[in-house]
Amino acid sequence: MHNKSIRVHSDEVAKAAQAALIRRGVAIEDIAKIVYEMQKTYNEGLTLEHCVHSVERVLRKREVQHALLVGIELDELAEKKLLSSPLQQIIESDEGLFGVDETIALGSVFTYGSIAVTTFGHLDKQKIGIIKKLDTEPGHHVNTFLDDLVGSIAASAASRIAHRMRDLEEEGETFADIEPEELGPKPKSHNEI
């Protein structure tokens, strides 16, 4: 059934996506640390705070919020063994040939261009920072979707920084010349990259 009268306010979706990350043990700073490690060599004056603000900006994109809500929900349902067979076993074991987890994460990366796509591929293979922790967490935790989603957010935030650095270079500046807030969320009417 398609009912256009049922609408969820974008603020509610944004809060739910961020709450889901926190519930799963992922802080914005965890993702920002990955971005910083990947970008610090190439961006003079870049700080962790710049990276935090870039991650916050990425988290304002609906595509990212929707991907987080779907992926985390599936991980949590798998932890509770509420999926039907064989999907339950595939997600619970993070089956290598499954690929749907990467597909959902990759879908949200496309907004940020080819740099973000190649960076996501790198992160998917290298498992940097909290991505590695999520991918190898012992016990009954299922992070089949979450590790890829965190990688997609980090890749997108890193891409934003790379593009911003190019703009700064053209202006004869570096990240040392701008406040971190310039990379953060803008008013709702300016929800562009």
| Per-residue confidence (pLDDT) for residue 118, from 0 to 100 | 96
Taking alpha carbons only, the member of 84, 92, 57 closest to residue 163 is 57
Q: Considering the domain boundaries, does residue 190 fall inside one? A: no
Q: Considering the domain boundaries, does residue 60 fall inside one? A: yes
Q: What is the mean pLDDT of residues 57-83?
A: 97
Q: Considering the domain boundaries, does residue 125 fall inside one? A: yes
The whole-angstrom separation of Cα 191 and Cα 173 is 25
| Per-residue confidence (pLDDT) for residue 4, from 0 to 100 | 78
Q: How far is CA 137 from CA 19, 20, 26, 29, 142, in A?
A: 20, 17, 13, 19, 8
Q: Considering the domain boundaries, does residue 6 fall inside one? A: no
| Per-residue confidence (pLDDT) for residue 23, from 0 to 100 | 97
Q: In this structure, what token pair is assigned to residue 156?
A: 């997108």
Instruction: Count the residues in the chain.
Output: 193
| Per-residue confidence (pLDDT) for residue 1, from 0 to 100 | 63
- Summarised one tens digit per residue, pLDDT across range 123-164 is 999 999 999 999 988 878 999 999 999 999 999 999 999 999
pLDDT of 191 above 90:
no
Q: What is the mean pLDDT of residues 69-83?
A: 98
Q: Considering the domain boundaries, does residue 86 fall inside one? A: yes
**CATH number of the domain where residue 81 is located:** 1.10.3760.10
Q: Considering the domain boundaries, does residue 56 fall inside one? A: yes
pLDDT of 193 above 60:
no
- Summarised one tens digit per residue, pLDDT across range 39-58 is 999 999 999 999 999 999 99
- Residue partners of 60: CB distance under 8 A and separation at least 6: 14, 185, 191
Number of domains observed in the structure of the chain: 1
Helices 100-109, 62-79: axis angle to 10 degrees equals: 160
Q: Considering the domain boundaries, does residue 3 fall inside one? A: no
Q: What is the mean pLDDT of residues 170-190?
A: 80
Q: Considering the domain boundaries, does residue 193 fall inside one? A: no
| Per-residue confidence (pLDDT) for residue 88, from 0 to 100 | 97
Segments forming the whole domain that contains residue 33: 24-169
| Per-residue confidence (pLDDT) for residue 137, from 0 to 100 | 84
The whole-angstrom separation of Cα 179 and Cα 112 is 22
